[in-house]
Structure 1
């Protein structure tokens, strides 16, 4: 009698579920809403059943893996596309506009983001043999790369912690270490070395973007920012634009306008009051810059968003 062993496509030869399939299954099970916060600190799951309009937000340093569907991210004048075979890393706080391009109820957009911790990455780097020096960095703060089985397995182990509520604290610590290690060993590993190494251009620009994000409504001196970064004003402008694709003033304006739009949508106050609260002394300037970015003056845009 002959026996045949049938191989199910999603399974590997060893009989285990492929990492990407396992991760899609985990996200589908644990994402009860479109944007699902989790008990694992820094981990957010996404399950969206239809394409979306552009949404403004500020990306903190993070990794994002797309497992199903596709999304586009607008940073300054540049667009980054991320499909289900890719992931991206953001290394500093970046004001972006992002939208999901491919999704439907049968095949929803599935993704995860995980916030990067500079100190934890630095601790791992200190225990690893140094094969790449932390060189000066003059590339954009977002980079896209191809997923690898190692990164997918590490991400699956992290999300799998949600299946073990009683063990989640300890198991998540171990899973985070594995994910960081795999990312450091990946094509984008040099970005993480830059992020976590004190004194690199990327680390210095990261301090500046964090400060602007927290103090966007306050007066801002380019000289003060340069001192904060330990750079000359010329170097600050050059490195800041290389990483964020905009000048410090453009960066602050975008942060202000995104926050103004958020508050308008929530109807927290009048357009005039919100413009003043986010740092504009001139209502005319606020209206002009808001219209240029979003296509409508503040009050008109708020009415449009409210009825969407």
Structure 2
């Protein structure tokens, strides 16, 4: 199944999901399972003017059905986003299921009473792995952020060869497992002009060390870098599946979002399962107006179906297909 967790109840998450879900075929609809607050679901269905019937575990529409796990958030002290997420994680089959999270705000994500900085950080805490990589996928580009929700002043001291190696390794294996394999990895430096051979910083040595190790683990892949972050786009080739690796959040995302808008997916690799989400936020100001753009969510659902089809056809261990044959050791956290 593709498990969908409801985000913030006052966000556009359920709106764009429902709009996208209606466009799927009846057979495709059977692959989805939604976890959310019952009142939030009913409210969205009503203002979207969708004819529906809800039973205990099923949403019936004119064009198909959606499996449901519903709850009443008023009976919990925990925010709706966290309730939905934890309920999904209780039943997820790591060998057969994919997780899709709808947009939320940071004040809705709690783990053992502690507020988290986002879904990715929550998963890092829950699965005790600092090497979960934040990836972004569009129809034309794949990027990885080595650091993500980290203040800029802390970026340099947190980047080390292992962090780069494991996050990049997980991403390479993840794309091979769920989508198309990677032919080439291009890494940005941390400093302007990739440090100019130490003239503007020495942090690039960590990137270089990681690249040398990655070359041994994945000899079939071409690795380039570290290169100047402002010039990575010049390395883009139409006939290759490339992964562009950036060292921090606002080094990679501004150009990605400027070019692809809402048509991008946030992917977490390195978990026992695949986690996906749209790359936009809650848009609270649009809630209830039925005007939210759903194209990014529709792209996400279709990519989730692609990944799920591939997942069902292959045997899995530790999130890696047993019929994959990589030379060298697989990166392990």
Q: Same fold (TM over 0.5)?
A: no
TM-score after normalising by structure 1: 0.28
The structure with more radius of gyration: 1
Instruction: Judging by fraction of residues, say which structure has more helix.
Output: 1
Which one scores higher on RCO, CA 8 angstroms, separation ≥ 6?
2
